[in-house]
Amino acid sequence: MSNDNAQTQDIQLFEKQKRIYPRRVKGFFRNIKWIAMLVCLGIYYLVPFIRWDRGLNAPDQAVLIDLNRGRAYWFWIEIWPQEIYFIAGILILAAIGLFFVTSLFGRVWCGYLCFQTVWTDLFIAVERFIQGDRNQRKKLREGPWTTEKLWKMAVTHALWLAIAWCTAGSFVLYFNDAPTLVYSFFTFSVSKTVLMFIGGLTFMTYLMAGFAREQVCTFMCPYARFQSAMFDKDTLIITYDETRGEPRGKHKKGADWSHLGDCIDCTACVQVCPTGIDIRNGLQMECIACGLCADACDDIMEKVELPKGLIRYDTESRMEAIAQGKDPGKLHFIRPRTIYYTAIISIVGSIMLYALLTRAPTDINVLHDRNPLFVKLSSGEIRNGYTVKILNKTHENRTYSLSLDGLNDATVDVVGSGNLDLNALPVEADTIGTYKIFIHAPLSPQKPKDITLTLKDNETGFSQRHETMFITERPH
């Protein structure tokens, strides 16, 4: 192995996380972030407590995913497991909506709405409240363990855990009746399952917002990586106006600034950045477009009496034009990409709306017996057995009648205990009633015959059909 001189250096393949201490900042985007956080957290923590009356035996929580009974409730909307495609539709809408918003305004999700951002922001605010602003925090954390450091860290982490616990608890409230669960907490009668979930989520929230922070955005989240697929030249992104700002340098008071750009190299933009990057290097993967650097820079620009907007939301095409000295022109919000997204959202949205509005209060499923397929009776007639499932999606007990089409001289029997009448099959509210029926008819050997069973709600007259088959011997 030859000895290499001079130019080789140790390459670290692993970079330890550098702790970031974002500085406090005031400004337009910071205010938007506070409002977004308030609204999001408000909705998240308070919605489970909203009540919605659905009748006697149904839960009265407005937003609830009842895993035991298999129902999803959203105010007046009720979804059965058979209708899970609504969830798929919502996810599609959410995804396309995300792409749409991103193609217009850049990473607004990342900067303002993402739960990782919101909770990290909250935890940093708590940290700042207890431990002070950037320089104080840095000194405290990098310094030795004093009594002051001990109690400050203890209080910070205690508050973090408390917030994480409430967050985890709130999550579970969407799956159980909220007031009941909260009450059971205070009486120490929570179930092990609930405790496990809350424990797990508390730990995850604490870990992600207290420690992992920007590492999630940089290394874990796939969205950071494919954002470039959603941007185009007309997407608004956080931009440092190089043309205006360079060459940067310290502006001394009273000196001549004509050879310098507007950037005074105060590094305020770096200090407030929650992911710890320098936006003056251009758009980077780590930049979550929270706009805090724009606020910080604007603040400084005001103080040195230069125009604001050195760091601002702008588009690539406009920056190119500015760099070439041309007129940047207006922002193009309406372009093919955004039109496509709007179209897809409209189509998917309308399909879902249509499905929701035409949702039937009753449904029927017919399962043909598989073993045996058919039975020959002593009279020579052929009998087929079916299991009929009647879905009563209303909140009242109903009776239903069942009728048959497509088979001549057929007789339909309902099997079961008690006196069952084919024209008055009872099904309780919000449940599935299962009935076994036999259909027998004289039929010569032939291919399976298509028949239709019609279910009718005796009270409303609403009917639903289901096609099935009547099977007999094959012709020899």
Partner 1 sequence: MSDDHKKEIDELSGVETTGHEWDGLKELNNPLPRWWLWVFFICCIWSFWYFVVYPSWPIPGGATEGTSGYTQYKELAESQIEIQERQEHYLERFEKASFKEILNDEDLYAFATAGGAAAFKDNCATCHGSGAQGSKGYPNLNDDDWLWGGDIEAISQTLHHGIRVHGDYDTRQSQMPAFGKDGLLKRDEINQVVDYVLALSGKEHHEGSIQSMPGHKIFQQQCASCHGAQGDGGREFGAPNLTDAIWLYGGSRQDIFETVYSSRAGMMPAWKNRLDENTIRQLAIYVHELGGGEDSQKKAKVTAPKPEEEKTHAEPHDPEEEDTEIEATAEEETEERSDEEDDL
In the complex, the residues that contact partner 1 under the rule CB under 8 A are 1, 4, 8, 10-11, 13, 369-372, 375-380, 383, 385, 401, 403-405, 407, 410-423, 438-439
Q: Name the minimum Å distance from CB 427 to partner 1.
A: 13
Nearer to partner 1 by Cβ, of 352 and 412: the residue is 412
Q: Tell me the C-alpha distance between 245 and 282, whole Å.
A: 12
Question: Please, which residue, 365 or 403, has the CB nearer to partner 1?
Answer: 403
DSSP character at residue 362: E
Cα–Cα dist 19/127, whole Å: 13
Q: What is the closest distance, in whole angstroms, from the C-beta atom of residue 475 to partner 1 in the complex?
A: 17
C-beta of 365: minimal distance to partner 1 in Å?
Answer: 19
Shortest distance, CB of residue 347 to partner 1, whole angstroms? 39
> Helix, strand or coil for residue 285?
coil
CB of 403 to partner 1, least distance (A): 6
Question: Checking DSSP bridges between strand 449-457 and strand 463-470, what pairing results, if any?
Answer: antiparallel
Q: Alpha-carbon torsion 424, 426, 429, 433, what sign? A: negative
Residue 51 or 376 having the CB closest to partner 1:
376
- Residue 382, phi then psi, degrees to nearest 5: -105, 140
Phi, psi at 76, each rounded to 5°: -90, -5
- List CB contacts of 265: < 8 A, sequence separation 6 or more: 248, 249, 250
Bridge partner residues of 366 (DSSP): 388
DSSP class per residue in 158-178 = HHHHHHHHHHHHHHHHTTS-H
Select 13 or 56, whichever has its Cβ closest to partner 1: 13
Shortest reach from residue 412's CB to partner 1, in Å: 5
**Given the complex with partner 1, which of 53 and 409 has the nearer CB atom?**
409
Shortest approach of partner 1 to residue 449 CB, angstroms?
13
How far is C-alpha 465 from the geometric centre of its chain's CA atoms? 36
Nearer to partner 1, 133 or 459 (CB): 459
Calpha distance 24→132 (Å, rounded): 10
**Which contacts qualify for 113-117: CB closer than 8 Å, 24 or more apart?**
113/36, 113/40, 114/288, 115/40, 116/208, 116/209, 116/216, 116/217, 116/221, 117/217, 117/274, 117/288, 117/290
Question: Buried (b) or exposed (e) across 198-222, using 16+ Cβ within 10 A?
Answer: beebbeebbebbbebbbebbbeeee
By C-beta, is 189 or 378 nearer to partner 1? 378
Return the number of the residue (325 or 475) whose C-beta is nearest partner 1: 475
Q: How does DSSP assign 33-73, residue by residue?
A: HHHHHHHHHHHHHHGGG-B----SSS--BSEEEETTTTEEE
State in angstroms the smallest separation of the CB of 419 from partner 1: 4
Answer whether 262's CB lies under 8 Å from 245's CB. yes
Pick 38 or 415: Cβ nearer partner 1: 415
Q: Which is nearer to partner 1, 254 or 418 (by Cβ)?
A: 418
Smallest separation, CB 458 to partner 1 (Å) = 11
Element (H, E) at 367: strand 362-368
By beta-carbon proximity to partner 1, the closer residue of 236 and 382 is 382
Quick one: 10 or 142, whose CB is closer to partner 1?
Answer: 10
Provide, rounded to whole angstroms, the least separation between the CB of residue 400 and partner 1: 13
How far apart (Å, rounded) are the C-alpha atoms in residues 36 and 209?
A: 17
Distance CA 366, CA 452 (A): 10
- Nearest Cα residue to 331 out of 348, 313, 345: 313
CB of 371 to partner 1, least distance (A): 3
CB of 443 to partner 1, least distance (A): 12
Report which of 210, 106, 223, 114 is spatially closest to residue 165, judged by C-alpha positions: 210
